[in-house]
Structure 1
Amino acid sequence: LSHTANYNFFDTLCSKGTITRTFRAFDCHGQSSQCTQRVFVNYEQDYWLKFPNDVIITVCDGTGNYGEPEFNGEDCELLGVSFEDEIFTVVPDACYKIERTWTVINWCTYSPNQPCVAVPNPNPNATSNNPANLVGPTIAPLGTPQPWTPTNVRVNPTDPQTTNYSVFYHGGTYTNYATG
């Protein structure tokens, strides 16, 4: 018995596609028989992420280290993470404000024809314990157990209903803030 496997139509980075396996058996008279099997591997998005909390800094901190997204279950994903900072030097109740916009792309599902989704985060209040300040949201599918349960909050205190952040599970951008 011999066999070969063809991975020409299989994406090894995202673990999806078709694997073609060919088996050949020989009898005692040297005659052979061949069978081909196609294995279809569907991609299943299976990661969760938590964006960093908004940060209020009371001392000069030039490190720029204000947190970053945390991931869980990303072993079969090809994730790209980047950020852009916009710095405001004239703001009320603070010396400056940094708006850091995170972009997370799952290259296994990315399509340039699909719009990017903005994950909501209202401007924080400069008082650190203000109820309008949200913790960094967790983005996960519905039913994900703790500690990765999707955030479910009122994005703005006046919103009539809460927003379940599982609706943003398929990618997007998120802006978090640091003031000092």
Structure 2
Amino acid sequence: VPASGLGDYPVADRDDKSARAFRQDVLAHFGGPLIDARGFDEYTGELVVLDRPEEQALRAGHIPTAVNIPWTSSVGADARFRPRAELDVIYGAVVTGVAPLVYSRVGERSALTWFVLTYLLGVPGVRNYDGSWTEWANAVGAPIVIGEEPGEPPMVVASS
């Protein structure tokens, strides 16, 4: 028993690569489904979030090829998850057989999207880029897009 008296708890080796994506994974995934779970104004670069300096990005916009499906799309006005049929419509355009990557500003909003895709819709292999926009936008040479991309599938948000 350690000196703290709290007991000895083993720490298991953790391999979270099946759920977590890194910057190089995003680069390798270009052309595959990529979901930006931030709000539309953040995605287009119209809104630069300044409320948390530790999460500040030097540039605004989104990662090339990303489709914007805000995390709030998966919940209704009562803050409960939407029914399966609505979630299928919301995420159907990006669930194509290739496991999507998801991101937000620092990974917390995209974690909810990861949960919805993985556990509510049963999509295998979804990974959360937890460095997300803060890491990407601050990385030298990382490509960004401001505004909407031509030919992009429309943002689908089910009505409440």
Task: Give TM-score, length-normalised by structure 1.
Answer: 0.25
Q: Which structure has more strand as a fraction of its residues?
A: 1
Larger Rg: 1
Looking at secondary structure, tell me which structure has more helix per residue: 2
| TM-score (norm: length of structure 2) | 0.27
